[in-house]
Amino acid sequence: MTVYVLVAAAVTLAAPFAALAGEPIGWPVIWSLLSHFILFGIIVILLVTLKRRLSDEAAFVATDALTGLLNRGSFIMRLDAELARAARYGHAFTLAYVDLDNFKAVNDLEGHDAGDELLRRVADVLRSSTRQTDILGRLGGDEFAIVLPETTGGATGSVLENLRKQLIRTMAEGGWPVTFSIGAATFEAPIDTSREALQVADSAMYSVKRSGKDGIRYVVWDGEPGPS
């Protein structure tokens, strides 16, 4: 944007100064300069407005319309960036996969409006229970994911257990018979792709589903082809 403003200034103001060089200062000169300054101001306003609109459109494309969290594509892009950062600096991070148990029953019994409100409430809890540096996304339907940079071991367990408690409390307040199956994987060694990382966390989540739902399964990736 700064480059565009400088170009606009050069184009708008260079001409009158060049044309008026050596001319005596009078009202015609003053009016010419003033009109060009006004034109320059209009150009700047238009450029700022364009930048804001493009920024708003980019944010709209990147987020899930219902919850305001990152949509699947944007989340995966951010996850890719975290994978690259972690590999470059040798840092560990945790990826959590959150799936709602019995969500279909809410849609079937109370309607899709109630289901949408439930999903919005879940997103609110995710935002309030995590840090600004964490990455939150709705992968689709009733599935959410969280990237927790620099979070390992006991800290991961504390964060996820607190998150689950907050989610359960929110469901009780809404009268919704929904619980949460959460799979979390801490990556202590580099993993090649975000797809593989999601598979590891997703596999941990499904182990909770197979064990009766409503719980947390935590695994550590150390470079082996499956959860450890």
Choose among 120, 185, 179, 116: nearest CA to 148: 185
Distance CA 184, CA 154 (A): 12
Distance CA 133, CA 116 (A): 26
DSSP string across 136-149: EEEEETTEEEEEEE
**Active-site annotation holder among 142, 192, 202, 214:** 142
Choose among 186, 180, 188: nearest CA to 216: 180
Q: Compute the half-sphere exposure of residue 107: CA atoms within 13 Å on the CB side of its CA.
A: 10
DSSP string across 40-54: HHHHHHHHHHHHHHH
CA 98 vs. chain centroid, Å, equals: 16
CA 171 vs. chain centroid, Å, equals: 24
Does the annotation mark 124 as catalytic?
A: no
* Positions marked active-site: 142
